[in-house]
Amino acid sequence: MGTPATRVARLLEIMARLRDPVGGCPWDVRQTFETVAPHTLEEAYEVVDAIENGTPANLREELGDLLFQVVFHSRIAEEKNLFSFSDVVDTLADKLVRRHPHVFGDTAGAGAPSTPEEVADTWERIKARERETQPGGDSVLDGVTRALPALSRARALGRRVATVGFDWPTVERVLEKVDEERRELDDELRSGADPDRTAEELGDLFFALVQLGRKLGIDSEAALRAANTKFERRFRAVEEALARQGCAPGNATLEEMEEIWQAVKQKENRTPPAPGGLA
């Protein structure tokens, strides 16, 4: 297959051929940054899904699909004389070197960050200095991507303001905030449950819970994905149990389904499910 460089060159040639206005693929030729963006997001999620539930071969394929998105965007940019795939690679390499002075710079060796937490702090300080030199970089929150899933963005916002000291000092203080937000939601429900106010209070509770996860070192997005997976697994088990009885969820009572659900939970607690995916 050749060297890594020749393999990348082949991929870039394929992309150029697909985008050729004369002999290329009509669908690929019509695409823009905006139309490709949803596919880029989808491919990123499919990589995460492959990591959590797939096989090495599945992950290899999904990583290739994500790489294709980078190549696709780079080709569109090159056609507009904005930048090329090589520029993307150079920018990434330069940034990695710049943000790892403990590996590539003067701080390597003695005195360099020695734990993941220290490295993360160094990374955030370097990013903050970079933002100061960028146009419009007046806010600590500049650069926190709006397109992130809401839970991930809430975590990123909390992490960013924590770099300037705007954070709860302890987990216990965050728990107090969670309790406060839950009470405010309860008060809103008791006072008449105005839909907009209720949604606002629920959002505040979500935000506080995400910050609790951050203080505990837990990624709320990953935790909720795991909870979704567990719920799906258990409900499918309920469906299977009902099917063995010649019944379906729509024909069973809540009490009957809850009884099976509790039995499924007890069985899982006695025999924890084997780790899935690539873990």
Say what the pLDDT of residue 44 is: 93
Lookup: tokens for 177:
């905030």
Considering the domain 150-218, what is its CATH architecture? Orthogonal Bundle (1.10)
Which pLDDT value is given to residue 163? 85
Confirm if 181 and 208 have CB atoms less than 8 A apart: yes
**For the segment 56-103, what is each residue's pLDDT rounded down to a tens digit?**
999 999 999 999 999 999 999 999 999 999 999 999 999 999 888 888
Which of residues 101 and 235 earns the better pLDDT score? 235
Name the pTM for this structure.
0.67
pLDDT, averaged across the chain: 89
Residue 198 to residues 59, 179, 180, 182, 189, Cα–Cα distance (Å) = 41, 16, 15, 11, 7
Domains 4-98 and 150-218 share a fold: yes
Query: Which comes out higher in pLDDT, residue 118 or 50?
Result: 50
Interval 173-216: pLDDT, tens: 999 999 999 999 999 999 887 889 999 999 999 999 999 999 99
- Residue 138: the pLDDT is 73
Give the CATH H-level superfamily of domain 4-98: MazG-like (1.10.287.1080)
Domain ranges of the chain: 4-98, 150-218, 221-270
Q: At residue 140, does pLDDT exceed 90? A: no
Print the SS3 string covering 77-140. HHHCCCCCHHHHHHHHHHHHHHCCHHHHCCCCCCCCCCCHHHHHHHHHHHHHHHHHCCCCCCCC
Q: Give me the residue label for tokens 């995916």.
A: 277
